[in-house]
C-alpha cells in the first residue's frame, strides 16, 4: 500500500482532517541532542493550507522542542495514524516554521483555527515528501473524547500567567536551544 504523493489531494485531505490526533517529530542538529515526538490533538487545530502546505495551532505546553528545533534546522515530520477504519499511516515530511503572534502573517494563519486560550504559534510545514504506508500494526481504538486539560490550564492562567510560564518553562529546549520567544 505504500505510496508517495506529489501533493495532498481531496481523499488524502479528508483522511488527515478526520484524524483526532497526530504526532510531530523534530530533532536538533547535535548528534547527542534529543529527538522529540509530540502528540497533537484537539479538534480544529490542523489545517491543509494548499496541496503541499499544512499548519497546526501550537498551544502553550510543558516543552518548546518543536519551535526550538525548527528555528535551528527546520526539519519536521507529521504522522497521522488511522485508529478506526482501514489501516493507514501518513507521514508529511518537510521544512517547518513557527509563526509567532508578532509576525505579520500570524493573524491570517490563526484565523484558520478556533481561537483557543494558550495559543503560542502556528506551525507551518511545507512538505517535500508526503507518503502513506499500511499501518497494519497500528491498533484499532475508539475515541472516547477530547481532553480539555490543556485549555483549562491556559484559561486558568490567563495571558499574564501564560507569559510568565513561557518565560520560565519555554525559554529553552532540553538541549539548551533558544525557545520562546527567542
**Residues 50-86 as b or e (16 or more Cβ within 10 Å = b):** ebbbbbbbbbbbeebbbbbbbbbeebbbbbbbbbeee
List the domain boundaries for the chain.
3-169
What's the confidence (pLDDT) of residue 1? 62
What's the confidence (pLDDT) of residue 52? 98
**DSSP calls for 29-46:** SSTTSPPEEEEE--TT-E
In order of 14, 30, 62, 154, the CA distances from 162 in angstroms are 34, 30, 11, 7
Q: pTM of the full predicted structure?
A: 0.96
Sign of CA dihedral 111, 116, 117, 120: negative
Phi and psi for 166 in degrees, rounded to 5? -60, -45
What's the confidence (pLDDT) of residue 24? 98
What's the confidence (pLDDT) of residue 6? 97
Phi and psi for 74 in degrees, rounded to 5? 80, -5
Residue ranges of alpha helices (H) inside 47-179 are 65-72, 106-110, 149-169
What's the confidence (pLDDT) of residue 181? 83
Residue with cell 497500528: 138
Tell me the average confidence (pLDDT) per consecutive run of 10 residues in the chain, 182 residues long. Answer: 92 97 98 97 96 98 97 98 96 98 98 96 98 95 94 96 96 96 74
Superfamily of domain 3-169, CATH level 4: Electron Transport, Fmn-binding Protein; Chain A (2.30.110.10)
Amino acid at each position: 500500500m505504500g505510496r508517495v504523493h506529489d501533493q495532498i489531494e481531496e481523499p488524502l485531505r479528508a483522511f488527515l482532517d478526520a484524524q483526532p490526533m497526530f504526532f510531530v517529530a523534530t530533532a536538533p542538529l547535535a548528534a547527542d541532542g534529543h529527538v522529540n515526538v509530540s502528540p497533537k490533538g484537539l479538534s480544529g487545530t490542523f489545517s491543509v493550507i494548499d496541496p503541499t502546505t499544512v499548519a497546526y495551532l501550537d498551544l502553550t505546553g510543558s516543552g518548546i522542542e518543536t519551535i526550538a528545533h525548527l528555528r535551528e534546522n527546520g526539519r519536521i515530520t507529521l504522522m497521522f495514524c488511522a485508529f478506526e477504519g482501514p489501516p493507514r499511516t501518513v507521514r508529511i515530511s518537510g521544512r517547518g516554521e513557527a509563526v509567532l503572534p508578532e509576525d505579520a502573517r500570524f493573524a491570517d494563519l490563526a484565523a484558520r483555527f478556533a481561537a483557543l486560550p494558550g495559543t503560542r504559534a502556528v506551525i507551518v510545514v511545507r512538505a517535500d515528501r508526503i507518503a502513506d504506508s499500511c499501518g497494519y500494526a497500528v491498533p484499532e481504538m475508539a475515541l472516547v473524547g477530547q481532553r480539555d486539560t490543556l485549555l483549562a490550564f491556559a484559561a486558568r492562567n490567563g495571558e499574564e500567567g501564560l507569559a510568565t510560564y513561557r518565560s520560565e518553562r519555554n525559554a529553552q529546549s532540553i538541549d539548551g536551544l533558544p525557545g520562546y520567544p527567542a
